[in-house]
Structure formats: structure tokens, C-alpha cells
Amino acid sequence: MRLGRLPWVLSLAGAFACAEGFAPGQRVNLAIVPVFSQTMPGVLTGDLDELHIRITRVPSSATVIDTTVAVDSSGNVDLPLTIPLLSDPEQFELLLEGVRSSDATVLYQGIDTVQVAANAETPPPVEIVVSYVGPCQATSGCLVTAGPIGVSLAQGDSLLMTVTVDSSGIPVAGVPVGLVNLDTALVRVRSTRHILARTGTAGGVARVVAQIYGDADTLLVTVLPPVGAPALVIITPGYAALRTTAPNHTIQLADTIKDAGGALLNPGLATWTSRAPSIASVSGTGLVTGLTKGSAVIVAQAGSGADSMVVTVGNAAAAPGDMLIAAVTNGRAFGTRRVGQTVTVDVRVEQLAVADSLGSYNARYSWNPAVLRFDSTSAGTYAAPTVNDSSSIGVLRFAAVDANSKSGPLVLTRLWFTALATGADGHALQISEVSGVSPNFFDYFTNGRYVVVSGAATIIP
């Protein structure tokens, strides 16, 4: 008999013997092939090391064979079997159990009833389905957890992967665990569970899956780019407003560039791009110039790192100019926060492109409630808003009037959220009314004299 490692098929070698006639007590060779119900990755060394075989007659339940035999280090079992027949044909119940001898725990079990005839001419072996039965609890099974979490590796370095298995919170030892490397170009996975980051790659996230029967967990390992290569870019500021005419028609952006180890690199490594160059252009050094009314995304990229910000541009030449309105997440048009952190969204109005001051507004803010949970609002530098709270469906409506009006940059209101889950918050800012005071309460919204930027917020683990 051989206990195979993949796909874990064990067999008892032998064949049915033929006979010219039948006499009670005649012995017949029996061939059994226990087949695992699942193709389990991993090895059995140090786990299953004994095989228990019990054969009983049906229906008397009289035991014919009840023996336990060792499984050697190569996964083999040497056990010739013959059984005596009392009738022809006769039924037998076959019980197979894979046992861990260190604590006598039954790990695998299969049971079936077969019919044996004395005059059979070499029939196929009997297949017995064998399933994993322990030591995981029958109702909850086992869960596997791979670690460590949030780990990074420099190229050429290694780490020891940790794998734990529990059943209803109770640690379980001896469950076979298989490892599957989904990103062989980035890492090597050794039998000792050491993970080695390959050299000469651009870096990235490697995935190693730990599998047991009924469960799996994936370890994420960030393989860092080669030392010295740009890996992170941060643009400052994360949001800006400009006019089409001087003054305030340009802004100098700054970029911070770091390698994978966090070392600062030369800012001159960045390549600057405007995704709407007809609205706002950007020079090779990050100088942005407002050209026409609208908004433009400015991107700085170096190596594998990149960052973006948004510039809104208002036309100050055509009276009374344009109101510039934006939703800014933690100070950036494109904000990034982690699960569990507080997310603040400022609804801002920039009046540098208008010859007026804000008298009133009416706005609607929506988001994905599965990603962000709304907590509260607070007043900014404008009059406290009246808020219509429909936060359960991810919508807030708010409005305010200031009898004295206000000029300059304003925070209309501040929205407070808690990050619940990873993903994009899907927020959108809409304006249904925005009016100035002089000269005649000009309605900017009705006449299209405004620019609205919603931006985006991304929640990461």
C-alpha cells in the first residue's frame, strides 16, 4: 500500500483471487484504494503516521481484521490482506482511519460496504472515500491564519511566515497546511515557510496562500523596489484655486520624493503632467498657470511613485467672476485614510476670482455609506448650516444664509466621518444655489458662474 502525497491517494496492493469452486473458509485477496475526498496540499510527515484497518462481516458485525500498521517516512504501508469467505458472495464493512500516533488522534476516516465473491475474475480495487475528520470541531471546522500582517521585504531579504490553525478560537496542532505561491516572479517560498524576496524585480505585492481543508488565508508581502529607486511622491498642496489673470494666476507646487526605504531623493526626478492643459498648464518644475475656467488634475510621477492634486480656475476677467467650490478631504482633493481613522471633509469656497461676496448657498453631498460612516457636521468660517440628515443612505443636504455676506476663502461646513472599509468613498458635491450680495444678489448658479470639484477619498487597510 502507498500513501501518496499529491493527490493523497493511498492503496492496498493485491487482487481478487479466482477459485474453481467454493468452500467455507476459502481465503480471498482483497485490494482497497482509499481515496481522499479533497485534494489536500501539503505533506503528511509528522502528522498521519499510522493506518488503522478494520474489516467486519455484514450483518453479523463479526471482526475479520482489526489492525494498525505504520506509515513509513516515504508514505508507504506494507500490508498484504486476505479474508476468509463464509458464503459466496459475502458482504463486508471496511473502516479505514489515518491516525497520528503521538496522541492517537484520528485525522482521516472512511467507511463503506463491499461485496466479495470467490469466483470474481480480477475486478477493480474497491475505492473507499476518506475524509479529514479531526481534530477540528465538526460544527465549526478549522480556520487558518497567515502572518505577519503588513510586512515589507527588501529584495534579497526573507521572513518566516507564521501559520496558525484554530477551531472556535482553540488552537489546533497537526492540521496539514499547504502553501501556494501566487507570485513566483516576486518571491520564493521554501518548505521551511521562509519567504525570500527575489532580486532584480520592480517590486510589488506578492501573495502566498495558506490552505487547509475548508479554509484558506492569503499573506500579502510587499517586495520593495531596488534601493534608491523612487517609490513615493507627495505633492504639496493637495488642492489649489487660481484665476485666469494676475494676480493669483500661478502656484508653485512642491514634491517630496522618497525611495522604498524612506530616504529623500532629488525632487527634480519628478515628471509633471496636466490632464487638462487647456485649463491649467504645469511646467517641468511644478509651476501651474491658470488659463481658462474649469478644473485640472496635476500629476507628479517618479519611478513607481505618483501623486495627484486638483487645481480649480476661475475667470476673473468676465464680471462678476466665478465662484470656486470644492470638497477637500483632510486638506487634499484626493485624500487617503486608513480603516478606523477619522475623515474630515471641508466644503470650501474660493472667491479670489469674483468681485463679490457670498450671501447664500444650497448644497448636496453624497458618499458611499459602506465605506464611510457619517458622524457629525460643524460650522466653518461661514454661517452655521441647516442640515437635512439622510446619512443612512449617504446623502446630506445643507444650506446657509449670511445677512452680512462674506468674502475671501471660506469653509462652508466641515463634515466628520469614520472610515469603515477599504475602497473609494464615491463622494460627490452638488450645488443647487449660490448667490452673491453685490451688486444685485447675482445668482452664480443660474448663470453658470461657478466651478465645483468633488475630488475623491480612498480608504486603505
CA angle, 51 as apex, 59 and 25 as ends, to 5°? Answer: 40
Under CATH, what is the fold of the domain 2-132?
Immunoglobulin-like (2.60.40)
For the chain, which residues make up each domain, given as ranges?
Answer: 2-132, 143-223, 230-460
CA angle, 204 as apex, 201 and 205 as ends, to 5°? Answer: 135
Residues 298 and 276: their CA atoms lie apart, in Å, by: 8
pLDDT at 138: 57
CATH topology identical between 143-223 and 230-460: yes
Do you know the residue count of the chain?
Answer: 461
pLDDT at 10: 36
Of 3.40.50.2300, 3.30.465.10, 3.90.1150.10, 2.60.40.1080, the CATH number of 143-223 is 2.60.40.1080
pLDDT at 23: 81
Report yes or no: 398 and 387 within 8 Å, Cβ to Cβ.
yes
Report yes or no: 309 and 253 within 8 Å, Cβ to Cβ.
yes
Q: Which residues of the chain have pLDDT under 50?
A: 1-19, 39-46
Strand partners, 413: 347, 379
Write the CA distances from 8 to 44, 108, 157, 192, integer angstroms.
9, 11, 34, 21
> For 406-421, what is each residue's pLDDT tens digit?
999 999 999 999 999 9
pLDDT at 41: 40
Write the CA distances from 429 to 365, 397, 432, integer angstroms.
5, 10, 10
pLDDT at 136: 72
CA angle, 52 as apex, 51 and 56 as ends, to 5°? Answer: 145
Q: Is 230-460 CATH 1.10.10.60?
A: no
CA angle, 99 as apex, 93 and 101 as ends, to 5°? Answer: 140
In degrees rounded to 5, what are phi and psi of residue 347?
-95, 110
Closest of 12, 33, 4, 18 to residue 126, by C-alpha? 33
Report yes or no: 94 and 109 within 8 Å, Cβ to Cβ.
no
CA 411 to chain centre: 36
**What is 200-262 written as a DSSP string?**
SS--EEEEEEEEETTEEEEEEEEEPPPTTSEEEEEEESBEEEEESSSSSSEEE-EEEEEETT-
Q: What is the pTM of this model?
A: 0.56
Secondary element (H or E) of residue 64: strand 63-70
